[in-house]
Amino acid sequence: MNVGPNACYLDQQREVPMALELRKLSHALGAEVCNVDVSKVSEALFGEIYHAFLQHGILLFRDQNITREQHIEFSRHFGELDRHDALPRDRHPEHPEILLVTNEPKLDGSPSDSRYTGRQWHSDMSFTPVPSLGSLLRGITMPEVGGDTVFANMTLAYETLSDGMKALIADLHGIHLSGTRKIANDDSGVTRATEQKRLNPPIAQPVVRVHPETGRKALYLGDKVKRFDRLTEEESKPLIKYLNEHATRFEFIYRHHWRANDIIAWDNRCTMHLALGDFDETQRRHMERTTVLGTPSGYVV
């Protein structure tokens, strides 16, 4: 089908009760769902949405001016939601299913705990024994410019490796550490990092994961991995660097410039993402996320 980059098109490949209008976001991954109000989604329509989710890795829904309850309700279609026991500081006090990603100071005026969330390539909850299936992030208050999020297609990253490299990494496990790269350089940052480490001991995850629904293999790595299990950091570093750089080449990514009331649902099993700090930090950036529980993976080292 020949559609322009900005045109929505009907997914007429399949005979379905209701066709989604989709617009591709980049060559590598992602689609915008143009004609859906996420607060009014039937089971039949959700079937179509989930099909598109598996196919495109990330889905964008624009202009979704919804309540927290509606955000949670829509997310529950994807599966059971995480109550964020691994990240207790960042969850909403009244809605444990909502994780705050915000630079809005706390009520006492101290800086937000989650202002540097996502500032390294990662897949959500990879540092736990039950990594997430997917996440749904809603942009609420966005800075005037910047504060973009970049997504990478890890299936494509895996499939474009040579046969030799695929064989080399087939049985490797990467050790995923909790915590962010950029932490606040004060007591709050140090306390948070210590607490996160205590709650989340290092977990070894397969470097190649088989997607439980599509059956396709994807790279599972990112910047939370400092070494492979049974190898030293020195031995691991060059290969981790190579694989992460390979996976995040321009041709494998989509960079999203947020508008207020955008929701992006991403598949954590075959994509990774990065929050860019390319904005004026005196401006507000407030986002809220739900996290869908995945299946157990990896082992404690």
Q: What's the rounded Cα separation, in Å, for the pair 2 and 234? A: 48
Distance separating the N- and C-terminal Cα atoms of the chain: 49
For Mn ion, give the closer residue by CB, 118 or 294. Answer: 118
Q: Give the nearer residue to ligand OGA in terms of CB position, either 203 or 287.
A: 287
Helix or strand holding residue 218 (H, E): strand 217-219
Q: Which residue has the tokens 């790269």?
A: 181
Residue 289 Cβ vs ligand OGA, minimum distance, rounded to whole Å? 4
- The whole-angstrom separation of Cα 129 and Cα 173 is 13
> Residue 70 has which token pair?
């509606």
Using the structure block, give the residue that is written with the tokens 């990092």.
Answer: 193
Is 101 an interacting residue with respect to ligand OGA (CB under 6 A)? yes
Six token digits for residue 157: 């990253």
Does residue 124 belong to the site contacting Mn ion (CB under 5 A)?
Answer: yes
223 binds Mn ion (CB under 5 A): no
- Asked if 80 contacts 288 with a C-beta cutoff of 8 angstroms, the reply is no
**Per CB under 6 A, does 290 bind ligand OGA?**
no
Q: Which does 275 bind (CB under 5 to 8 A by kind): ligand OGA, Mn ion, none?
A: ligand OGA
Interface residues for ligand OGA in 141-180 (CB under 6 A)?
Answer: 149
Q: List the one residue from 135, 153, 244, 297 that touches ligand OGA (CB under 6 A).
A: 135
Q: Among ligand OGA, Mn ion, none, what binds residue 157 when CB lies within 5 to 8 Å by partner kind?
A: none
Q: What is the DSSP letter of 105?
A: P
Question: Pairing between strand 208-210 and 271-275?
Answer: unpaired
- x/- site string to ligand OGA, residues 15 to 54, per CB under 6 A? ----------------------------------------
Could you tell me the smallest distance in angstroms from the CB atom of residue 129 to Mn ion?
A: 18
**Burial class of residue 9, CB neighbours in 10 A (0-12, 13-18, 19+):** middle
Q: Which stretch binds ligand OGA (CB under 6 A): 34-42, 117-125, 231-239, 247-255?
A: 117-125
Structure tokens of 40?
A: 């009014």
Pick 20 or 38: Cβ nearer ligand OGA: 38
| Residue whose CB is nearest to ligand OGA in the complex, by number | 118
Interacting residues with Mn ion (CB under 5 A): 118, 124
